[in-house]
Structure 1
Amino acid sequence: MFENRINQAKKLLKEFSADMLFINDPESIKYLTGLYFSLGRLFISGKSVELVVDGRYFSIAKKLNFLNVTLLEKDSFKKFIKKNDIKKIGFDSSFITYLDYENIKKSLEKEILVPINNPLQNLRLYKDKNEIALIKKSCEINWQGFLHISKLLKEGISEIELALEYEIFVKKHGAEKLSFDPIIAFGKNSAFPHHKTSNTKLKSSDNILIDIGVSYQGYASDMTRVVFLKEKNKTLEKYYEIIKEASFKAIELCRPNVKLKELDIAARIILKQNNIEHLFVHSLGHGVGLNVHEFPRIKFDNEDKDVLLKDGMVITIEPGLYDESIGGVRYENMILITQDSHEVLYPLSF
């Protein structure tokens, strides 16, 4: 599996007009090797592939039998370039810092650096059966965590307490970590899409926005639901029903060869009909994989708007409405694009 992914990465060299790829993004290295290193370098040329790690990871990395593994040295990069007669070096311009870029430049003689924005983007976009299984398990753990904390909702509990209960539960049930800091927002706090979970205590009149995700064997999940305690705010309750309708309209279009912008347009039509589109302040969704936020981003007017849905893509659909005077609502699901349709990875009944 990983050998095949590396072979696919080699094929990118021609597309990028490069003799080698320099990969140092830990998630991309994990995608190509199956192992995560906080410090690692992967050199890929048409002739050879070399994984360079420091002493902490060397014995683990040596178990990989489909590539060369060497200890990180000051001149590791130079040695590989000379050995493989490299002239053009492709690097991930979305990940490498300017300082790293300058240091790489200093180590070169006549070689040319070729900036590539996220070179593995299209490889990582389409998930294989193994990745899909891991993502589904990640979603399952996440959903169980949501059901668990839903039972703990009572007046007086704080956002932070609820977030902690969630984290303990999901880690006990197989999550290796959270895919992002949970957004637990009570009442008017929910009007801020990326509210920082606080010591705010729950009141009977509050709505509760819960945006959560875990990582399972490297693969992320993401979901949002809104729960009403006792005294429902009628406007927010109505808003929640409207964004659910908008979400379902977008999900209905999820099938191969549909442009991303069509999903966003479909959701916005529902919001326009209710004269509340101005309360929708972010994109409709994003890709999910090794990172919780991956290519593409779903919006009718952004650079990814004409990307076509394809079998194996995993995206979120998450319309939201935010009014600082009363609060906000968001409804988020993860969608797997299949050969001729789609699969929603969370129950839609809640």
Structure 2
Amino acid sequence: MATIAYGAHGADKPVERMSIERRAPGAHDVQIDIAYCGVCHSDLHQIRAEWSGTIYPCVPGHEIVGRVSAVGADVTRFQVGDIVGVGCMVDSCQHCASCGEGLEQYCENGFTGTYNSPTPDAPGHTLGGYSQQIVVDDKFVLKVRHAEEQLAAVAPLLCAGITTYSPLRHWNVGPGKKVGIVGIGGLGHMGVKLAHAMGAHVVAFTTSESKREDAKALGADEVVVSRNDEEMAAHADSFDFILDTVAASHNLDAFTALLKRDGTLTLVGVPEHAHPSPDVSALIFRRRAIAGSLIGGIAETQEMLDFCAEHGIVADIEMISAQEIDAAYERMLRSDVKYRFVIDNATMAA
């Protein structure tokens, strides 16, 4: 089944319109007409082969919201017309210990990514949400309960939302906890909104004085310019948890020094070069931890979507047409977006 998509045929090639094939829905499949797809920094890394292993043609996109247009014979949770989402995964082994615990993102046999993962479907690897349609196993399809006028801004929840929600939940963020969010971008702005909704005292860290008021508007109780040594020192030994969303290599010691005893700094951004090795003594003498976290399992992603619907949380977005994807990538590299681009997939028909 042919559908229109936008992707690239090489790392140095532009994003362009192309025709791709989708499988006919099997017994357990859900066919989705995609309305909106968020643009993640991972899309840029993959399509330009900044991460190894890119397979071409590459059609990115793993922040998908759309409407069910067909279901397989054995699908019971969804019906035609339902508004649904698809995130970073479309399959996993479903029999390892992690999958058994609902932690498919840590599948010990490797989950199947929404794009650039091996699949029996043509052309032999998955093709993502920069397309008019997608067919996904119903176990990896999520119910969206937000109002229809919010759907474009819901799309980034499928990656940016769950990437920040999962560690906040895992490290028990809530009332009485002092929580830092490092970086006010696509991930960080969601982290501030979610931590605030969970009832924590939220401190946003930014390198830019110009983002101070923006961070407060997102829900931060305090804002620290991390280049200001005095502002940083004022928060020494005071945080229960810090979520670091920055994907560029930087010095982690500045943030571990702000943790209380038994506090944790969790990283969700993968830098282009390794972070400088941290000062181990700062960890040992306060029993502090540096940890990492990867998106979330399907059950937790559904929990996140429901939490966001209940609390009126969506991403702050700028809508673009499919024809503007390359220009959006260049703006992303300049951090020139507040805070997530979302493709209006209806423009693919133009």
Asked if Structure 1 and Structure 2 have the same fold, meaning a TM-score greater than 0.5 normalized by the shorter chain, the answer is no
Structure richer in helix, relative to its length: 1
TM (norm. structure 1) is 0.30
- Work out which of the two has the higher radius of gyration on C-alpha atoms and give 1 or 2: 1
TM (norm. structure 2) is 0.30
